Chain A
Amino acid sequence: MHELRATIAIVRRHIDRRFALDFAMQFALVGAIGYIFAHVFAAPPIPILICGTLAAASAAEREHAASLRRVSFFAMPLFGRQLARAHAIAPVLSALSIPLGYATGCALRGAPLAPPAFGILVLTAIVGALVSLSSVFRDGVRAALYVGLAIAAAASLAIVAVVFPGHAFAADAALAAIEGFFALRAFGETLARYDPLPAAIG
């Protein structure tokens, strides 16, 4: 019960005005992409790659990273895995603006996505955000590698959707569950190992 209260407190701390603004901007941007390219990107792999890439970039954004690195979070009496779960919820919610925006854009253009296709985009955004989260506590090349890994995870979902066209959603759901689970575990490990050092001032 206490753990749930702490989780909700951390999520509430992340969901502020800036979060709402980012959500709205992402929704509008991807909505515009969906509206403009609804007929061009009719084949499943391209929207999946777009959603995965944008979700990865959204979760790895540097200002967001700085807010997660605040020392006060690390002074909290929580295990790394508890902090990881709490930290992951807001970026995943934010990433959901991407498939929602894309689906809205396509619908406005008169080419609505089929429910399984929309479901795959949602799964891709979640996996992209979860894998990319581990970049938040890294800098430089190592951070970029995790963003690359998130895009690769999205690409794997796109490939599965192409290879199993009749059962694309079920196959992607299974793969996304595995990738998401390991991504969250890796994020927990990253948090447990991370040392929140002060800015080098001396």
Chain B
Amino acid sequence: MVLRALAASFVRDGVEIVVPFDLALGPGETATLAQPTPFAASIAARICAAIVKPTTGIVYVGDYESRLQPPQAKRLVGFVDAAGFDGDDHAFHCETAFRADVWGLEARVAHARASAVLAALGSGDERHARYARAVALALVADVAALVLDQPTRRIVESVRAFAPVPAIVRTRVGVAAPPAPLVAREPAAT
């Protein structure tokens, strides 16, 4: 399993923001995680990417538990925030170099990778451009899973066309029937 969540939830000030969800994602698979609000969807995405600790439940990325071994878990996941990356070309270049340093990659390879992903995602409106940049940054490192916070269908389809395709968790705003939210799994792309 690339990513596994068992009854993961997020509670703040006694209010259950992220309703408990289960997730089991193998290599190349795609899962959709529905939460009632954009705020909840963003937190659920951060929980899957080992950025936010779940209040209850447990999340594994590969063999690493996100609460106990967050750096090891984060090394395997690329995270794309719902807002995307709003910097200009220069900022994107700097961020790519920054990530290459943090992940211990060769800068030239990181820039080539980011450019290839951007080209594959194509052009579009402002939102698409911001999101595509964020996806390119998330895929600078060789990750096993990609967490997309409220992406467009086009982005997901484009990423699923990559080879090798990473496991993808996408969040969306939707009615999540309690106690478990809607989790739809799609088979691995061939």
Contacts and interface: CB of A to CB of B under 8 A. Distances in A.
Interface string B90-115: 00001101100111100000000000
Nearest to B42: A198
Nearest to A75: B79
A71 B81 contact: yes
Interface in A59-82: 71-72, 74-79, 82
A72 B95 contact: yes
B51 interface: yes
A5 interface: yes
Nearest to B79: A75
A195 B17 CA distance: 14
Contact of B39 (A76, A77, A82, A202): A202
Contacts of B52: 195-197
Contact of B102 (A6, A71, A200): A6
Interface in B49-64: 49, 51-53
Given A2-B104, A9-B101, A75 B49 contact: yes
Contacts of B70: 79
Interface string B61-89: 00000000011101101010110000000
A82 to B, nearest CB: 8
Nearest to B173: A202
A90 B30 CA distance: 40
Contacts of B104: 2, 5-6
B51 A200 contact: no
A108 interface: no
Dominant SS among interface residues on chain B: helix
B32 interface: no
Nearest to B94: A13
Interface in A156-202: 195-202
A145 interface: no
Nearest to B104: A2
Nearest to A6: B102
A42 interface: no
B46 interface: yes
Nearest to B53: A195
A198 B39 contact: yes
B46 A77 contact: no
Given A5-B101, A74-B51, A75-B51, A196 B95 contact: no
B75 A77 contact: yes
A4 B1 CA distance: 32
B25 to A, nearest CB: 18
B101 A8 contact: yes
Contacts of B71: 77-79, 82
Contacts of A28: none
Contacts of A12: 98
Interface in A17-71: 71
Nearest to A83: B71
B51 A196 contact: yes
Given A76-B74, A197-B46, 10 more contacts: A6-B104, A9-B98, A71-B51, A74-B51, A77-B103, A195-B53, A196-B51, A197-B42, A198-B81, A201-B42
8 contacts: A6-B104, A9-B98, A74-B51, A77-B103, A197-B43, A200-B39, A201-B37, A202-B39
